[in-house]
Structure 1
Amino acid sequence: QQRVMLLSRSPSGPKKYFPIPVENLEEEIRMRSADEGKLFREEFNSLTPGYVQGAFEMANKEENREKNRYPNILPYDHSRVILTQIDGVPSSDYINASYIDGYKEKNKFIAAQGPKQETVNDFWRMIWEQKSAIIVMLTNLKERKEEKCYQYWPDQGCWTYGNVRVSVEDCIVLVDYTIRKFCVQSLHDGCKAPRLVTQLHFTSWPDFGVPFTPIGMLKFLKKVKTLNPVHAGPIVVHCSAGVGRTGTFIVIDAIIDMMHEEQKVDVFEFVSRIRNQRPQMVQTDMQYSFIYQALLEYYLYGDTELDVSSLEKHLQTSHNAAPNLVKIGLEEEFKKLTNVRIMKENMRTGNLPANMKKARVIQIIPYDFNRVILSMKRGQEYTDYINASFIDGYRQKDYFIATQGPLPHTVEDFWRMVWEWKCHTIVMLTEVQEREQ
């Protein structure tokens, strides 16, 4: 069995971290991010791994060991989800899943490992018994050629998992996540009406590290909140082990609620608290710092999504907004965009002297993480570079290539790009000459 790599903690004693008022958040993050995130690492390493008195008796029972995806990621006895016992099947009340509190709501979430083939029936039994209406999935089925989670739903039609029948109602694929709607019926409780269960599957978490930007995660989180019915059971959140990405998601959700209620942020205290409900929640310092980045993004820009029905009203209030009104005018909205930090440290390739000559406007350089890479010409350095970036569409990753108008000495690279990336459409939004330039 694989084990999850757990980071060693610093030997120094526990240090106290205090809540941060939201207006100081940007400055605090700037300080913690200095020296490649040295202070973030220190803060993360000061967390205790989990509940000192926590026992794992049920998880360690011989008949339950096979049900655990990783032998070192187990639920505590005091906070584990208990299934109804199946007659004649010892320990059939066990699943590797734990109740986790939200900001103020007790047992708002269930943090679970990604189902294994042997535990799929238990997983659906849990969904039914807990009356959960939302499943949040934060891993892909395979990453780096390793199985991270067994596919626990049918692609189409209907499938029966133990005593629970699951049929696919709908599937919507968007750029960062996929929404699947299932009709779920218990064959055991035949008299009970079928239920709608929605799975929101975040597909943009990279195999290594964390997403480059928290924007996709924040939109995803909003969708989860919107789709969860008021009287439903706990939201089931899982990745592979059910601690790293799962913990990250739960913490962002809780601290956003805290920001609204108290105008402050206390990530350290909340992570410490939920580690008493499931060990190792939030696994790496990168995930820990990503939580802060997401909170800052939310604080600076808020929720900018509009319902189509309110678009006209938004435009009118934006145009008519007097400076003293709370409503932000379009100019204010645009001004916020100009504050988005340009990350010069992530433009190393474009800033090489040989590549600077290929820039039409010296300030507009592609980021390394999404630049278009050409095939390298044999024996010629830097020939894999063009000033062009992949841009996501609404439903599809890298749907567009945004590029500068070719220069005389980059025309050949431009056509190489069109050929190598199989582009069938070029949209040109300038004249060859404008204002005699």
Structure 2
Amino acid sequence: MSQAEENLRSFLRKVESIQRQGQEEALSQEFQEIKNQTAVFRQDSDFSTEVGRNKENIKKNRYKDILPYDQTRVPLTLRVEEGQTDYINASFIQGLDNPQRYIATQGPLKDTMLDFWRMVWEYQVKVIVMACREVELGKKKCERYWPLDQEHSSFGSFSVCMVEKNMPNPEVVFRVLRVTFQGEVRDICHFQYVAWPDRGIPDSYDCFLEMISLVRLYQADGKAPLCIHCSAGCGRTGVICTVEYIQELIYYQRVPSNFSIFQIVLEMRRQRPSAVQTKEQYEFVYHAVVEMFHKKLKDSNVNYENLKENKVPFYDDAASLRTDRRSKPALPRSSVFTRSASVPAEPVLQPLPGLRPAQDMNDTYAVVNKAKKGISSSGPGEARYQGPPVNTTMCLP
């Protein structure tokens, strides 16, 4: 057994041990400690939100209490109209080996859709993940910044049309948006998770993890940031950033021996306010990670048994997932976590320059063992979209 696999098993043993002891309140205590530490470091002078509070920018914030830290905000230098500022309510969050792996941002307002496309274009975003609907419970949560079928939409100097649309599973809509700016054309992949209530959790682990896997397939080895947003750009957005980051650890076999969801979420909050906003979302992260670890160990065992019998492994190594922009992968029906050919050194999620390191803490681990209403824990393929994919061609290159 490799050290990487042993680290996965070690975490699962801690989870199972505390679950057997019936200490379901451990996660609640852990999340409360995250909130406590967040309240402390937000008082530090290193965590300011002055730019978002400027008079000229205040109207660009969807919620007054969710402002990007000046130290991690995403500046816009691409100016397409007079009088534009460099402000957008968006934050960089670092990834495994990339200080700008994620852009966590709010859902665009009517007056910030142009700013949104300026950001996407300037930072050469290839994949956008949207974790909300435009309207939820009768309230506007996000403006639609893409066209409906067979339409073109203009946002200042940006022209957007939809060239592909389908449903990889019942809870995710996948689109390819073709964006034109000053004669240059780019295709951008857009995932929208449509079954995730505000401040709540997704209806299915399977569908959520399948989307996370697809995001990685389409992002491939690109250095451009993933753009992730919900309404406020914190709760649901933070869950996606956290789980996608851990997926990277799994993929590159770099889950450390001291793996800690607590520390990862706390570090996310040092870069984007209120990332993973509720206790329920924090519990969901734990559940999702346990599912990912179990699947990785199961797949590794299957691959090992196949190799012993001189059979071709079920999954190719990392090189097979590198995709060309001109030849996108087909949307699979189940999530895939593949093995890596090498085992790099264990990573540590480092604070961004200028920020204090997170306080030390003895983490506790738990999984809430009562089934949540509406949560599916079925195996792969049991909660999949049964009808044919909806493919439409909206406009030609």
TM-score, length basis structure 2: 0.69
Of the two structures, which has the highest relative contact order with CA contacts closer than 8 Å and spacing of 6 or more? 2
Matching residue within 130, 147, 151 for 2:123: 130
1:294-309 paired onto structure 2 within 5 Å: 294-302=288-296
Q: Tell me the percent identity.
A: 29
Q: Which residue of 2 aligns with 1:21?
A: 7
In 2, the alpha carbon distance for the partners of 1:344 and 1:87 equals 52
In 1, the alpha carbon distance for the partners of 2:219 and 2:104 equals 16
In 1, the alpha carbon distance for the partners of 2:296 and 2:385 equals 20
In 2, the alpha carbon distance for the partners of 1:274 and 1:126 equals 21
In 2, the alpha carbon distance for the partners of 1:151 and 1:90 equals 24
Contact in 2 for aligned 1:63/1:91 (Cα 8 Å): no
SS at match of 1:104: coil
**1:255-309 CA distances to partner (integer Å, 9 max, x unpaired)?**
232342135432122222222211111111211121111111111123999xxxx
Contact in 1 for aligned 2:207/2:383 (Cα 8 Å): no
Correspondence 1:219 to 2:210: yes
Correspondence 1:253 to 2:248: no
SS at match of 2:293: helix
Shift in alpha-carbon separation, 1:319–1:268, aligned structure 2, 3 A = closer
Shift in alpha-carbon separation, 1:132–1:88, aligned structure 2, 3 A = closer
In 2, the alpha carbon distance for the partners of 1:323 and 1:230 equals 32
Gap runs ≥5 in structure 2: 1-5, 315-367, 377-381, 389-397
SS at match of 1:261: coil
CA RMSD of aligned residues (A): 3.4
Gap runs ≥5 in structure 1: 1-19, 306-314, 329-342, 347-366, 372-390, 398-437
Q: Which residue of 1 aligns with 2:175?
A: 180
In 2, the alpha carbon distance for the partners of 1:208 and 1:396 equals 30
One-letter amino acid of the structure 2 residue matched with residue 134 of structure 1? V
In 1, the alpha carbon distance for the partners of 2:219 and 2:137 equals 32
SS at match of 2:285: helix
Correspondence 1:105 to 2:92: no
In 2, the alpha carbon distance for the partners of 1:283 and 1:141 equals 20
Q: Which residue of 2 aligns with 1:333?
A: none
In 2, the alpha carbon distance for the partners of 1:370 and 1:109 equals 27
Contact in 2 for aligned 1:173/1:395 (Cα 8 Å): no
Shift in alpha-carbon separation, 1:303–1:84, aligned structure 2, 3 A = farther
Matching residue within 102, 120, 141 for 2:134: 141
Q: How far off is 1:199 after superposition?
A: 0.4
In 1, the alpha carbon distance for the partners of 2:147 and 2:286 equals 36
**1:361-386 CA distances to partner (integer Å, 9 max, x unpaired)?**
xxxxxx97489xxxxxxxxxxxxxxx
Shift in alpha-carbon separation, 1:318–1:61, aligned structure 2, 3 A = closer
Q: Which residue of 1 aligns with 2:111?
A: 118
**1:333-388 CA distances to partner (integer Å, 9 max, x unpaired)?**
xxxxxxxxxx9955xxxxxxxxxxxxxxxxxxxx97489xxxxxxxxxxxxxxxxx
Q: How far off is 1:121 after superposition?
A: 0.8
Q: Which residue of 1 aligns with 2:26?
A: 39
Correspondence 1:228 to 2:214: no
Contact in 2 for aligned 1:133/1:198 (Cα 8 Å): yes
Q: Which residue of 1 aligns with 2:163?
A: 169
Matching residue within 49, 61, 66 for 1:68: 61
Shift in alpha-carbon separation, 1:229–1:165, aligned structure 2, 3 A = farther
**1:44-88 CA distances to partner (integer Å, 9 max, x unpaired)?**
111222543211111001121111011000001111111126488
Q: Which residue of 2 aligns with 1:312?
A: none
In 1, the alpha carbon distance for the partners of 2:109 and 2:387 equals 29
In 2, the alpha carbon distance for the partners of 1:344 and 1:248 equals 20
Q: Which has the larger radius of gyration?
A: 1
In 1, the alpha carbon distance for the partners of 2:15 and 2:298 equals 22
SS at match of 1:114: coil
Q: How far off is 1:205 after superposition?
A: 1.7
One-letter amino acid of the structure 2 residue matched with residue 199 of structure 1? H
In 2, the alpha carbon distance for the partners of 1:32 and 1:285 equals 18
Matching residue within 153, 158, 179 for 1:159: 153
Q: How far off is 1:89 after superposition?
A: 4.9
SS at match of 1:115: coil
Contact in 2 for aligned 1:171/1:178 (Cα 8 Å): yes
TM-score, length basis structure 1: 0.64
Correspondence 1:287 to 2:309: no
**1:301-344 CA distances to partner (integer Å, 9 max, x unpaired)?**
23999xxxxxxxxx9x999786899969xxxxxxxxxxxxxx99
Contact in 2 for aligned 1:125/1:163 (Cα 8 Å): no
Correspondence 1:55 to 2:48: yes
Q: How far off is 1:112 after superposition?
A: 0.4
Contact in 2 for aligned 1:132/1:197 (Cα 8 Å): yes
Q: How far off is 1:26 after superposition?
A: 2.8
Correspondence 1:150 to 2:137: no
